[in-house]
Structure 1
Amino acid sequence: MPTSYNTSVTEGPVVLDRRSGPHGEVVLRRHGDLLQIIANGCFLMDTSDGRSERRLVDAALNALHGRPAPTVLIGGLGVGFSLAHAAQNPRWKRIVVVEREQAVIDWHRAGPLSQVSAEALADPRTEIVHADLVTFVHASEETYDALCLDIDNGPGWTVTEDNEGLYSPAGLEACRERLTPGGVLAVWSAQPSSLFEESLRNAQFQGVRTEEVPVARGVPDVVHLATRAE
């Protein structure tokens, strides 16, 4: 039976859907014209802007220096900005999105978030994988030219404790192994982290750097970038 969404628009937040799963509770909420995703009571993202998600994808593509027909793995579907932006660029040959919450996938395929991602989901280059990203990067044998990861508020501010493994030495090694030689790892964060930069260097990544993404208020968002050796 299809999920019924509360589509009424009010001034205050309105819960459209609430799901409980193996990683806790996820909520899709409408606040005015915005759609918001809340995980275990922690605000993750909304549809207010998307410049950070677009910069994440563009920074990775730019760092590939014109490599023809690159492939990209996007970690986290979120509200769909990263996927939608990648699909707008014909340079990407293949776009794989790994999302662990079935609810988030449902909200895009047949729910309110389809307003962001419907065209991208219909693109034949797009593949959605329902899996935990940490498990996926360890278990997969495929390689990609770029990994664009946005599953937390940053390496030091994870949504669940399970995600901490992604930023550990073993997790970063697994990410490196999922990249082609010269491939790029791009990690979104709500704040810069010199400790994470050092972790990337210790994991044998090259060209480690951080790009700022200006925001309306407060500390800029950032994209951490690193390259696998040729």
Structure 2
Amino acid sequence: MSNPATPAPRSAAPEETVTVERRSGPYGEVVLRQRGAHYEIIANGCFLMDTSDGRSERLLVRAALDELSRGGEDLSGRPAADSDPEDRPGRPGRPGRSDDPDGSDGPDGSDGSDGPRLLIGGLGVGFSLAEAAAEPRWGRVTVVEREPAILDWHRGGPLSGVSAPALADPRTELVEADLVAYLHQAAGSGPRFDALCLDIDNGPEWTVTDGNSTLYSPAGLAACRAALALGGVLAVWSAQPSPAFEGSLRNAGFCRVRTDEIPVARGVPDVVHFAARPA
């Protein structure tokens, strides 16, 4: 059902930029603009993302699943046989932990907890969620988004063209919350996730709000590590590489730290920082 507070999109000429909605939210101003056939999100005057490409946002999720597909070997290359099986990731293609509190069924009628459990930090324009929902091997898919406007734009608003099938998937759970606070809660009392795919800033050194910097601090990375199951994967999107952040990940106890470049249509490549919690 369309949200009555969300204006209907209007057509924009190829080079025309139209402001679809401007809203003051709990963390400042957020704006949805349409440029030709594409939409873009601006937060506090800072460009976040648009619908023109999406390769790096999709790779964020796809590569995390590839890491988990290594089966019984942990991501440091050591056998994981002596790890507690109840705290290891649910491996793609076979049952994992059955800790889903509501027992939601997946698209094939099976319990969604039978696959690895994914947390996506930041809904954005919806590409990461769409990628996750299109992959039946994922179990529960939790998306944490703190901006009510962005949630409205997906729930029957202009961005529903990207996310509607994913939002209809019973594995999908939307949580309106600050990601940093949510991760600290998950680290303390659960749930544990098999993969964290985080995309709330333009990178560890280019945050949308000052408060987001705590996510990349030692305490924030410790919370990420604690929120992961043993052998779980952390993937962080960035507009540019950060050798300092790689060092921070290693200092926080992560293994298999690396940075992958993703070519984009114009400008310098995006990157995704990957790391894993040792099993």
Q: TM-score, normalised by structure 2?
A: 0.81
Q: Does residue 1:25 correspond to 2:29, yes or no?
A: yes
Asked if the contact 1:47/1:79 (under 8 Å) is kept, the reply is yes
Asked if the contact 2:196/2:228 (under 8 Å) is kept, the reply is yes
Map 1:75-224 → 2, pairs under 5 A: 75-140=121-186, 141-224=190-273
Distance in 2 (alpha carbons) for counterparts of 1:25 and 1:12: 22
**SS of the residue 1:173 aligns to:** helix
Match of 2:80 in 1: none
Asked if the contact 1:100/1:132 (under 8 Å) is kept, the reply is yes
Distance in 2 (alpha carbons) for counterparts of 1:216 and 1:5: 28
Q: What does the per-residue CA deviation read over 1:173-197, in whole Å, with 9 as the maximum and x for residues that have no partner?
A: 0000110000000000111110000
Distance in 2 (alpha carbons) for counterparts of 1:72 and 1:38: 26
Match of 1:8 among 8, 11, 17: 11
Question: Aligned-pair distance for 1:12?
Answer: 1.4
Match of 2:53 among 49, 56, 63: 49
**SS of the residue 1:208 aligns to:** strand
Question: Aligned-pair distance for 1:6?
Answer: 4.3
Match of 2:39 among 16, 35, 40: 35
Question: Aligned-pair distance for 1:89?
Answer: 0.3
Unaligned runs of 5+ in 1: none
Give the length in aligned residue pairs. 230
Q: What does the per-residue CA deviation read over 1:135-167, in whole Å, with 9 as the maximum and x for residues that have no partner?
A: 110122211000000000000000000100000
Matched letter for residue 18 of structure 2: V
Matched letter for residue 10 of structure 2: T
Distance in 2 (alpha carbons) for counterparts of 1:136 and 1:142: 10
Following TM superposition, the consecutive aligned residue runs of length 4 or more in structure 1 with deviations greater than 6 angstroms are none
Distance in 2 (alpha carbons) for counterparts of 1:154 and 1:5: 31
Matched letter for residue 20 of structure 1: S
Distance in 2 (alpha carbons) for counterparts of 1:173 and 1:148: 15
Question: Aligned-pair distance for 1:168?
Answer: 0.2
Q: What does the per-residue CA deviation read over 1:55-104, in whole Å, with 9 as the maximum and x for residues that have no partner?
A: 10011111112423111000000000000011000000110000000000
- Structure (1 or 2) with the greater strand fraction: 1
Aligned CA-pair RMSD = 1.1
Matched letter for residue 4 of structure 2: P
Question: Aligned-pair distance for 1:51?
Answer: 0.2
**SS of the residue 2:155 aligns to:** helix
Q: Percent identity?
A: 68
Asked if the contact 1:6/1:15 (under 8 Å) is kept, the reply is no
